[in-house]
Amino acid sequence: MPFMASGGGAGAPAAAGPVTMQVEPGQILALKSRYEAVRDTVRDFLENQRENLRGRPVADDDVSRDAASTFADNAAMAIDVTAKFISQLNLSIDQLDQAAKTYNLVEDVNTVTMQQDRGI
């Protein structure tokens, strides 16, 4: 339970170790594109909604202030985890880009695009 009310529970879950993914060379660019789309969607949401996620007391009383404080703590943790997720996606995208270069897939895509543009 990563979002426990103050006074109870554990901290954030422990980070898992590295994971190896095997991707067929012909699927590298498609996977990279999916990762970029996910990253862009999550990043845009975070940038546009960061302040709204922080929460404010809905009334001027102790209960509302306490609830808003707990919500803000949980939101800060969620924002931090999401930022780390985006960083990991960026690392994976960079690795996929390097793999594509290794297999000369970027040149293959450029060649096909140019041929399609020329009607070949």
- State the Cα–Cα distance between residues 114 and 52, nearest whole angstrom: 45
63 assigned to some structural domain: yes
- State the Cα–Cα distance between residues 32 and 36, nearest whole angstrom: 6
93 assigned to some structural domain: yes
- State the Cα–Cα distance between residues 54 and 74, nearest whole angstrom: 8
Average pLDDT over residues 91-115: 80
**CATH number of the structural domain spanning residue 47:** 1.10.287
2 assigned to some structural domain: no
76 assigned to some structural domain: yes
pLDDT digits (tens, 9 = 90+) for 4-48: 444 444 555 566 677 788 889 889 999 999 999 999 999 999 999
87 assigned to some structural domain: yes
Burial 55-90 (b: 16+ CB within 10 A, else e): bebeeeeeeeeebbebbebbbeeeeeebeeebeebe
| 0.75 surpassed by pTM | no
Question: What is the tally of structural domains in the chain?
Answer: 1
The dihedral formed by the CA atoms of 28, 30, 33 and 38, expressed in degrees to the nearest 10: -100
Which residue reads 């895509």 in tokens? 109
11 assigned to some structural domain: no
pLDDT exceeds 90 at position 103: no
Q: What domain range is 95 assigned to?
A: 25-115
72 assigned to some structural domain: yes
